[in-house]
Amino acid sequence: MAELAEGIILSDRFGPRLETVFRCYFTDVDGQAYSYDVYWYINDQSVVTHERIAYSNINESLLRPAHWVGRYQMNMVVRICI
């Protein structure tokens, strides 16, 4: 499942603001040490892939504004595959 989340605090000439990111959210397989490939899609188009991510590092697989701003507009359909 993908969820909208708060990223890092950024500062610019207008002051501090939060980076808006999409985060991968799922339940890990208990007792196993798997690595996951995370595929992000917007409007059924592949946007970014993060490969071999351990569950403990799953927040390294965020979909950040740099991946979609200027290429897609709001009211987009964001989907994730693991």
Domain boundaries, the chain: 2-81
Per-residue pLDDT of the chain (82 residues; tens, 9 = 90+): 665 565 556 566 676 767 778 888 888 887 788 899 999 999 999 999 999 999 999 989 999 889 988 999 878 999 999 9
Contact yes or no for 38/48 (Cβ under 8 A): no
Q: pTM for the full model?
A: 0.78
